């Protein structure tokens, strides 16, 4: 019964997806250790043991949530920026998209990265593969800007200082606050570009 099996597979994939999203949200909110697998199960209406039908361990859940979130963020970044020819304009868009990845939606992908220390070396290596690709996209645009003298500083760690500015905003940004993401993005871009 292929149709039945297929529908079942879809349902299972959906439950898996629900678990990932609930886990991501809770891990960001309370931290990996303070979130119990029972919290996650309850968030999707399961019993305490059931998440382990979908994931081998709590660490597996974290790893999968990180990778899924990072890949979504990467796709958004590429889709929004790859057709922009002017590197300065492209950087502005990338900054805005990154702030969205960070602060819009309910996952806050890059903040999940703080929880990497809960994972073993093998899992961390898997995640590094995805984050490296994200970083390379940024470095390419920054290099392009440096080559035409449009960056105010050519210091080696410029990308890292930029990510710091942006990622730290999750510590203080409030959706109902005085500053919009557009304003924060513009302020950060103005600091870098000349």
Partner DNA sequence: CCTACCGATCGGTAGG
- Residues at the site binding a copy of itself, with contacts judged by CB under 8 A: 30-34, 114, 117-118, 152-153, 155-158, 160-169, 171-172, 178-179, 183-184, 186-188, 190-192
Best CA proximity match to 132, nearest among 106, 105, 113, 115: 113
Classify 77 as helix, strand or coil.
helix
Q: Which C-beta is closer to a copy of itself: that of 69 or that of 110?
A: 110
Query: Cα separation of 88 and 142, whole Å?
Result: 9
Pick one of DNA, a copy of itself, none as the site partner of residue 156 (Cβ within 5 to 8 A by kind): a copy of itself
Residue 157 near DNA by CB under 7 A: no
Q: Which C-beta is closer to a copy of itself: that of 78 or that of 137?
A: 137
Work out how close the CB of 95 gets to a copy of itself at its nearest, in angstroms, rounded to a whole number.
11
Q: Which residues fall within 8 angstroms of residue 191, CB to CB, at 6 or more apart?
A: 152, 165
Backbone angles phi, psi at 172, to 5 degrees: -130, -20
Residue 12 near DNA by CB under 7 A: yes
Pick one of DNA, a copy of itself, none as the site partner of residue 15 (Cβ within 5 to 8 A by kind): DNA
**What dihedral angle (degrees, nearest 10) is formed by the CA atoms of 34, 40, 43, 44?**
170
Tell me how far apart the terminal alpha carbons of the chain are, to the nearest angstrom. 63
Pick one of a copy of itself, DNA, none as the site partner of residue 114 (Cβ within 5 to 8 A by kind): a copy of itself
User: x/- site string to DNA, residues 36 to 75, per CB under 7 A?
Assistant: xxx--x---xxxxxx-xxx-xxxx----------------
- Full DSSP string of 50-75: THHHH-SSHHHHHHHHHHHHHHHHHH
Contact residues for DNA, defined by CB under 7 A:
11-12, 15, 35-38, 41, 45-50, 52-54, 56-59
């Amino acid at each position: 019964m292929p149709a039945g099996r297929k529908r079942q597979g879809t349902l299972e994939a959906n439950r898996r997806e629900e678990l990932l999203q609930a886990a991501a949200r809770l891990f960001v909110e309370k931290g990996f250790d303070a979130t119990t697998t029972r919290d996650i199960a309850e968030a999707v209406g399961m019993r305490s043991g059931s998440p382990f039908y979908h994931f081998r361990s709590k660490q597996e859940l974290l790893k999968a949530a990180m990778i899924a979130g990072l890949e979504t963020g990467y796709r958004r970044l590429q889709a929004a920026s790859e057709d922009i020819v002017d590197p300065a304009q492209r950087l502005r868009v990338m900054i805005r998209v990154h702030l969205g990845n960070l602060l819009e939606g309910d996952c806050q992908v890059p903040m999940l990265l703080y929880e990497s220390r809960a994972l073993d070396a093998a899992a961390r290596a898997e995640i590094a593969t995805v984050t490296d690709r994200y970083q390379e996209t940024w470095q390419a645009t920054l290099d392009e800007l440096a080559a035409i003298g449009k960056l105010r500083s050519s210091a080696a760690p410029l990308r890292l200082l930029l990510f710091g500015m942006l990622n730290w905003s999750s510590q203080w940004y409030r959706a109902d606050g005085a500053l919009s993401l557009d304003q924060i993005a513009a302020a950060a871009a103005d600091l870098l570009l000349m």
